[in-house]
Amino acid sequence: MAPDRASGARAVCSAPPQSSHQELPMLDVVMLALGLGFFILTLGYAYACERL
């Protein structure tokens, strides 16, 4: 294998970890929960401003 021109080190190819495919659905659930939470927060804020 030829040395890398910039650093002189050998290039190493590595596959991404297999567990990354299993974490994505959980991230979707977290993002949906955050979106719903912020929506409820804005409804509460609008209600509080209405009472002023």
pLDDT digits (tens, 9 = 90+) for 5-46: 566 666 666 765 565 556 678 899 999 999 999 999 999 999
pTM exceeds 0.85, yes or no: no
Q: Which residue do the tokens 């509080």 mark?
A: 48
Rounded to whole angstroms, the Cα distance separating 4 from 1 reads 9
CA distance 20 to 9: 28
- What's the chain's length in residues? 52
